[in-house]
Chains A and B, each alone.
Chain A
Amino acid sequence: MTDSLSPILNLPCLIPSLMSNVTLSNITKKVRTVTALDDVSFHIKDGEFFVLLGQTGAGKTTTLRVIAGLEKQDAGNVAFDDEPVNALTPADRDVAFVFQQYSLYPTMSVYDNLAFPLRSPVHRIPETDIKRKIEQVTEILRISHLLDRKTARLSGGEMQRVSIGRAIVRDPRVFLMDEPLSNLDAKLRESLRVELKHLQKTLGKTILYVTHDQIEALTMADRIAVLNKGQIVQEGTADDIYDRPATTFVAQLVGSPRINLFQAHRENGSLVITGSDVRVVTTHALPEAFLLGVRPEDVRLAADGQFPAEVVLAEPLGVETVLHLKSGNQTLIALVPGMSDAKIGDVVKFSIANDKLHFFDTNRKRIQTT
């Protein structure tokens, strides 16, 4: 971190920069009678972009709030750099929180919003340093022209930029981001996503990012933890999550269009998708009955394909086309590049990439095949 990647790095550090490994061990949290978090443990390394992925109500936000100290866990430990912070107030934990919405103080201007964390009695920073720091941050985020505005007069994208700005002015130990992009429209989300990732790489800060959007998770994360019903289902890189999903839940959560999931069984050394013509020779040791997962891009249309199917629906997306293929009683979703000339009712031939199959046992857990 010695080059001039970003002007912020050349600042004389106003607050001593700390390492920021975050460790959660065995966090359990009950909200009334519902268990929001059930024995959650993970470790975020310094400088890592860590994404918590899960559906609404999975406990993602609760996890963030426990780390920030806004809520107290019933059991377990939160540690920053192996130092437990359970007893510290949110102010003393030195984290920055970017909320999904309602995060800018409505009675203050953009400048005062950005200055607010720096003016905290915890830091005691002189006003001239605050001004300089804000100028640098607004330059990075390209919001310098907004400084005098009231926050109510900002667009959604500008608001979220200011929110992020309010987090980075302070150089905290860790950034906690709670779906900061989910209230924005698709185009804006895409560009802010890139910006955010770029920002994290230039600043080299630790970010814990919570989202329900698998695309955000796959594109931005160094590592992902998938949360379901208060439990960590899988933790790993984007590759791990996408190529080796630990359960059918993860397999279905990640990837769009969704993974094809079928009941399948063994028959004379081949595996057969129950109720269809699809039959694949396999050498893997598999139980009698299991679930077979095939990613849509691994269903390949070819003139010399192994299995015939009828096109029942075509969804052209431009770069690719989603085809719904009917084989026997089963419908497979296939993703073909570019615009397809297949029409509804056409009979096409397809094959399945044998080496890209996912197997799950009846408990919906992955069967290791390698």
Chain B
Amino acid sequence: MASFAETGPRRPVVESIRVDKVSPGARTTGAVRAMVVVIVALIMLIPIFVMLATAFKSRPDVSASPPKVFFQPTLEGFLYLFTDRAIIAPGRMAEFQAKADAGAMGFLERLAFDTGQEITGPSAYVGRLTNSLIVAGVSTALSVLLGTLAGYAFSRFNMPGKDDLLFFILSTRMLPAVVVTIPLFLMYRQMGLYDTHLGLILLYTVFNLSFAVWLMKGFFDEIPREYEEAALVDGYSRIQTFLKIVLPQSVSGIAATTVFCLIFAWNEYAFALMMTSERARTAPPSIPSMLGRGGIEWSAIAAGSLLFLIPVVIITFALRKYLLRGVTFGAIRQ
């Protein structure tokens, strides 16, 4: 019999050698499909593009009709977003001009001067964005932590009324959350939780928790018990087993749950609007409030939205492979 060295491929096969099996028709279909996907994606991205463009437009360009596609980019929008300004009194114009000529003006100051304004202080937006980060971050961490523990318990242990409990947890999502806004508002005011970070964190955590529990339970259900049993027999306690064996395997589940919880908490608008005023207000309700200050500052709104979008985009991209698995969990067999 001839050996493999005589009959086998002369060179190592780096890629599939079966391209010959792909018919030209199939290849064309593939190309067409890819093109369709690209076109649809571009159409979907139009609003994002408009927002991006608007954020860098000057005030006249923003309201130009028909809209300008090509324009001179400026950072005016970000100036409006981050600062409070006042129109420079005519009597002080010379003073500013001198300062500008001497090159003693900062970048933003100069930008403001060019539109005839002076900076009077930072705007509230930076604080709002910080509030968003605190509230979304802490509530996500809490929901994921509690959801992981509860999901594991529901997945592994038998307890009386387990199914009813699970149903009850799910039932908290059955009515639109806004429905309870008014009673919650009254309660919060009584308890001193109104306009506090803690208040929003609690609210978002509770709202996300049901979702986190169910999602994490699903992930734990997919991890065979044998691993834990092996560890138990190998001389580890239940909690050690959970930390050393189960958690490392549920990283993708935790990541997916984190993204979902974070997106909700980050984007939440209605509660944030009702339950906060100045101290704890988050970014989403504060962006439209820019509408009313000295005319509609579209570029500031666009810039605010853009900045608001960036963190969540970064995190979603970083965790996207887990996210995909989170969306399709249960549908894939190992």
Binding site for B on A (CB under 8 A): 65, 68-70, 89-91, 93-97, 99, 101-103, 105-107, 116-117, 120-123, 166, 170
Is the Cβ of B229 less than 8 Å from the Cβ of A97?
Answer: yes
Complex partner residue of A107 from B224, B235, B249, CB under 8 angstroms:
B249
Chain A residue nearest to B228 (CB atoms) is A70
For A89, what are the chain B residues with a Cβ–Cβ distance below 8 Å? 232, 237
Extra pairs beyond A91-B232, A107-B245 (11, CB < 8 Å):
A65-B229, A69-B232, A90-B232, A91-B234, A102-B224, A103-B226, A105-B231, A120-B235, A121-B236, A121-B240, A170-B235
Nearest CB of B to A60, in Å: 16
Is the Cβ of B235 less than 8 Å from the Cβ of A121?
Answer: yes
In the bound complex, CA of A154 to CA of B232 (Å): 24
Complex partner residue of B245 from A65, A105, A117, CB under 8 angstroms:
A105
Task: Check A102/B227 contact, CB under 8 A, given A91-B237, A107-B248, A107-B249.
Answer: yes
Taking each of B234, B240, B245, which has the highest tally of chain A beta carbons within 10 Å of its own beta carbon? B234
Complex partner residue of B233 from A95, A101, A105, CB under 8 angstroms:
A95
Nearest CB of B to A339, in Å: 24
Complex partner residue of A97 from B233, B240, B245, CB under 8 angstroms:
B233
21 CB-based A-B contacts, threshold 8 Å: A69-B232, A69-B233, A89-B232, A89-B237, A91-B232, A91-B233, A91-B234, A91-B235, A93-B233, A97-B233, A102-B224, A103-B230, A105-B230, A105-B245, A117-B234, A120-B236, A121-B235, A121-B236, A121-B237, A122-B236, A170-B234
In the bound complex, CA of A120 to CA of B236 (Å): 6
Chain B residue nearest to A68 (CB atoms) is B233
| Chain B residues touching A, majority SS | helix
Interface size class, chain B: 10 to 19
Residues facing A in B125-159 (CB within 8 A) are: none
Chain B residue nearest to A169 (CB atoms) is B234
In the bound complex, CA of A240 to CA of B277 (Å): 85
For A107, what are the chain B residues with a Cβ–Cβ distance below 8 Å? 245, 248-249
For B230, what are the chain A residues with a Cβ–Cβ distance below 8 Å? 97, 99, 103, 105, 166
| Chain A residues touching B, majority SS | loop
Nearest CB of A to B20, in Å: 30
Complex partner residue of B226 from A99, A120, A123, CB under 8 angstroms:
A99
Chain B residue nearest to A95 (CB atoms) is B233
Chain A residue nearest to B251 (CB atoms) is A107
For B224, what are the chain A residues with a Cβ–Cβ distance below 8 Å? 102
Closest 3 CB pairs of A and B: A120-B235, A117-B234, A122-B235
Chain A residue nearest to B249 (CB atoms) is A107
In the bound complex, CA of A352 to CA of B235 (Å): 56
Nearest CB of B to A169, in Å: 10
Chain A residue nearest to B334 (CB atoms) is A102
Nearest CB of B to A162, in Å: 12
Complex partner residue of A101 from B226, B237, B245, CB under 8 angstroms:
B226
Is the Cβ of B233 less than 8 Å from the Cβ of A96?
Answer: yes
